[in-house]
Structure 1
């Protein structure tokens, strides 16, 4: 829903509450933590529809089945009481479908690297929620290593 597109960490997802989703403004407010800054991210139209369905239909069913009251937006499913366990199960299923997938952090890395190509360094830092610019700059290095691999693989003199 939002992890892949927005590059949110599992911790970001755990902190989200229903009030953080502003459907009429088309935005999501990501709370800050000790390690990350708060930020506001625009949602795409298809994400708005997904959130609307989740908030109005899916989430209430999960709450009824769990006999639980919480403002947490994303709820664990099954017997697990922690969202981290649910995300881990989803990652495991994704790996079965796609061998090149390694873990959830790979998705976040991919999104941040893409943002660095799309925006300037400061905007990418803001969207990633990094407190320090050096945290965002590390992703520039990741992109350079990827470029070197591609060049070495497809260079005509190889």
Structure 2
């Protein structure tokens, strides 16, 4: 009887634990890419150094200290995703060349502020020589 109760407890406990969401907080020192995650996209790790499958993570935050984006160094990058969807992307850079690239990317994103039933806003901030591009999802309809 005791064995049976312990078995039932372990089975129920493992079933309840399997229903929880998985969260990842990943830090990577350097990443070189030509394409940046966009808001409202389905999360995928692309060529980031993450050792487990994308489908196992439902929520998380990815931080890259040194981003080389389109063969240009000097960016930092942060991404937040919830329920397998990219919710926030922040790219920072310093200097006129970075500001010009971030402005061009902002114009490209501004033309598509709606993806299906998902709406996001794009902001470009300047703090001295430092520029910060924020893409934040503010509404998802039907979910």
Alignment TM-score, normalising by the size of structure 1 = 0.26
More strand by share: 2
Alignment TM-score, normalising by the size of structure 2 = 0.28
Work out which of the two has the higher radius of gyration on C-alpha atoms and give 1 or 2. Answer: 2
